[in-house]
Chain A
């Protein structure tokens, strides 16, 4: 930054600021405000459009409304096993215990879930869950969650800064977080918000892959800003490829097809018509999985009449199996496999239980799912890794910073079970609200803003307008997506990961040389340019973690290390920047991806009483 530059900005001040207005952000905000703190929510899109809205199948909570045998212990066990035991056990425990209350609370705020015959909240089957456990509204549960939270926040008079992109967190001289700097997307005007504590609820990173169920917003802003501020990230190599995304037409490739299709009876077949999932049951789940179609089919109506169908194995298993079938030449015409519910349920049932899927295939692919099979294949969906947090308070390893929802790591281990995300948002959103409010209340002394940090961030953001003949940001984004898709995808190998790291460094160079036309007022090219630093940072972390984790576990599959390694199961890989205040050599004035390190550190050790739950034949 040159001496004479002094960019103008508007200023605001709150006790607690939440970045992100999905389920976790809104739940955190409602809690912090209820505790009497001056609270604001900042979001990149309009209120109510966050990625939570895309969640379809449901919200996992052991309420026992359908199977009274269900309880938090079974849910805990399922979550840990699904996560291949890499989870932060305490988060999985709190989640399993508190999810039912969070669902009921949502109902009191206006959510209208589907009902059982007794009038209680109906729960549906999903992969990896022993009992029917997902509270849902048809296949649009995420919409119900976000609308309910949005309406609650509005009713509470919440301050919402819509369409505001955050560039960087600000911090005190001692490193405690003191606010943020960003810009209004509609006007391009810069904004500084001073805060005693900040909650990250920014969601995921999927937009760095080519085929993803994620929207443009999922660029890992919270992950990256936490890292730049000196916080630890964990498990960044654990990326979930949802087994069933649309594959055709190409323009919709990656759009999610809910697991509810399989929970409600849908089966996967290859081009030979075989229900191939029976060939892919791993030892860990063999005892609880059906070994014939007859047995599997009985289970849907009565879980005591047979064991669960292999189509309902955890997502990582199903995604890898589909991948193998396609690679083995038994795929569908457009490179997926067939998901068939048409021959298994009546047209009326399908339209009632899966209305969005019916609508989506009918309008986007011209396929009637009550009459034909869907073509589906894996799509980048969710990152298990994220900001390393304290389970009870959601505090990150930097003071004043909290994280909840997809941006936080640990809860889901190496693989998330379907339905555990929406409940995660509410359980840890609420805890983040409390954690951030407690921190803000207890914070003493002045919260200081460093003008240098602010001006640096703004200068870096507007620099592309002063450059000529530079790079096109869309081309860099596409090159990154191709790199991550082809080299850091569902199946990985050491040499390709090394190649990816080289390419990411090259892309960082190119991203430092973007030039833009137009102004700062609602300029998507500029918006993308300011998203590139986060995308490159999180992609680097994922590739580094994936290179270091020399084993296959959950969302990390190494072709060169195809088995799980018990020693590797005892560590999380932790990405951090040793000295975040050091030279800002990366894109947009952020620390360079070259300064990121990735080190193994022990997974928290589970107490014996919880360990016993994993062994029990529940």
Chain B
């Protein structure tokens, strides 16, 4: 009953222009590979590894758009290699694959994304309210589907960090990384801020430590999100509104009080965050903070205006507590 191994017919050739190098520098190298029907960019990268360059470095895991490992810049656009079909790229043209530009290169297409893991440590975790007597009896919290759906949208995030890569606040300003959480962590904060059980108030933290005000809502992050999360509209803008509310709007503040939301102050929330706990041991090589050598001639995702690091938040829309 030996199973037949199915082989695909070759359908022409494709030229890949892949950045090779490390933190010392590097260059694009061209590889001409056989092409097959229905392939994605990652398939061709794997073929380069198997036949021409066994040491070509790239990250990948699931190959189905679920783990967010194989992020790169394909023809200048931050994308997942596993979800970019070759037949969606201009036919007959060379395909350029470069590492994400906002992070230091480790080797070839692999970058040091430890910045993101450092930011993650500074997000205070969920602090759920106690269960009610009814919930104790039912054996679990009660939450309406409609109330969990807002946060569920943000929890679709696969941490590919393409939004961080494309965000001009850090893409073009390495120095901003120390005081800017980036779109991925704005949706993390939004998820917690809109979580029906959370009792932390994260607004002061967002404004003062995560640099929410630096975001200029150019929506580049939303454009590249492979999970189609409406990062700007559904997370960042509502967060900006809330931060403004916290500062200027006693009515919204009173509304929350009346509805009996027991929120901690930002200072308390920050104090509950893991305080300089044991740092995750990070792999050596390409340490965060070292100015990154950029692939020469790497196409840049252009068009969006460059955000000023000190840009003020946009004018506050009418104050409204959007909490369900």
Contact = CB atoms under 8 A, between A and B. Distances in A.
B281 A161 contact: yes
Nearest to B151: A112
A104 interface: yes
B285 A521 contact: yes
A485 B59 CA distance: 25
A439 interface: no
Interface stretch (A113-121, A307-315, A386-394, A451-459): A113-121
A144 B64 contact: no
Contacts of B140: 63, 65, 104, 107, 120-121
A218 B221 CA distance: 32
A151 B125 contact: yes
Contact of A143 (B40, B66, B85, B141): B66
Given A45-B61, A51-B61, A54-B64, A112 B40 contact: no
A573 to B, nearest CB: 21
A184 B283 contact: yes
Given A186-B286, A517-B54, A118 B142 contact: yes
A186 B159 contact: no
Given A155-B274, A159-B281, A45 B50 contact: no
A462 interface: no
Contacts of A256: 64
A140 interface: yes
A448 interface: no
B50 A517 contact: no
Contacts, number: 244
Interface in B103-128: 106-108, 110, 112-113, 117, 120-121, 125-126, 128
A485 B3 contact: yes
A46 B67 CA distance: 10
B5 A110 contact: no
B2 A486 contact: yes
Given A53-B66, A251-B39, A486-B5, A137 B155 contact: yes
Interface string B53-70: 011111111111111110
Contact of B66 (A119, A159, A356, A475): A356
Interface in B76-123: 83, 85, 106-108, 110, 112-113, 117, 120-121
A473 interface: yes
B8 interface: yes
Interface stretch (A358-366, A404-412, A425-433): A358-366
A54 B40 contact: no
A595 interface: no
B70 to A, nearest CB: 10
B73 interface: no
Contacts of B158: 53, 143
Interface string A35-56: 0000010000111111101100
Contact of B38 (A249, A360, A478, A525): A249
Interface in A81-122: 100, 104, 107-110, 112-115, 118-122
A161 B279 CA distance: 10
Given A109-B126, A164-B283, A521-B22, A559 B64 contact: no
A119 B117 CA distance: 33
Contacts of A291: none
Interface in A457-488: 472-475, 478, 482, 485-487
Contact of A486 (B3, B22, B63, B107): B3
A210 interface: yes
A189 B4 CA distance: 42
Contact of B285 (A186, A360, A526): A186
B6 interface: yes
Contact of B67 (A54, A122, A521): A54
B1 A492 contact: yes
B225 to A, nearest CB: 12
Interface in A321-368: 335, 356, 359-360, 363-365
Nearest to A137: B152
A162 B195 contact: no
B283 A365 contact: no
A53 B156 contact: no
A447 interface: no
Contacts of B59: 45-46
A523 B126 contact: no
A157 B1 contact: no
B280 interface: yes
A187 B283 contact: yes
B59 to A, nearest CB: 7
Contact of B39 (A164, A249, A487, A491): A249
A360 B64 contact: yes
A275 interface: no
Interface residues of A, number: 98
Contact of B107 (A210, A491, A521): A521
Interface in A141-176: 142-144, 147, 151-152, 154-164
A48 B159 contact: yes
Contacts of B61: 45, 49-51, 53, 215-217
Contacts of A255: 63-64
B63 A559 contact: no
B218 interface: no
A550 B106 CA distance: 51
Contact of B128 (A108, A137, A140, A363): A108
Contacts of B56: 524
A325 B6 CA distance: 17
A515 B117 CA distance: 35
A522 B108 contact: yes
Given A157-B277, A524-B49, A363 B65 contact: yes
B43 interface: yes
A115 B143 contact: yes
B278 interface: yes
Contacts of B64: 54, 252, 255-256, 360, 364
Contacts of A215: 60-63, 67
B144 interface: yes
Contacts of A49: 61-62, 67-69
Interface in B173-195: 192, 195
Interface string B4-17: 11111000000000
A160 B195 CA distance: 27
B55 A364 contact: no
A46 B284 contact: no
A113 B141 CA distance: 11
B148 A496 contact: no
Contact of A489 (B3, B54, B157, B284): B3
A186 B110 contact: yes
B313 to A, nearest CB: 27
B290 interface: no
B139 interface: yes
A18 interface: no
Nearest to B9: A250
B286 A47 contact: no
Interface in A214-267: 215-217, 248-253, 255-256
A154 B139 contact: no
12 contacts: A46-B69, A49-B68, A54-B62, A54-B67, A118-B138, A120-B139, A159-B280, A249-B37, A473-B54, A516-B54, A519-B55, A524-B55
Given A140-B156, A210-B5, A249-B37, 13 more contacts: A45-B59, A46-B117, A49-B61, A53-B158, A157-B278, A162-B282, A215-B60, A216-B61, A248-B38, A251-B8, A253-B6, A363-B85, A486-B4
The 10 lowest CB-CB distance pairs between A and B, nearest first, are: A249-B38, A157-B277, A525-B54, A119-B142, A518-B55, A155-B125, A474-B50, A110-B126, A186-B283, A522-B107
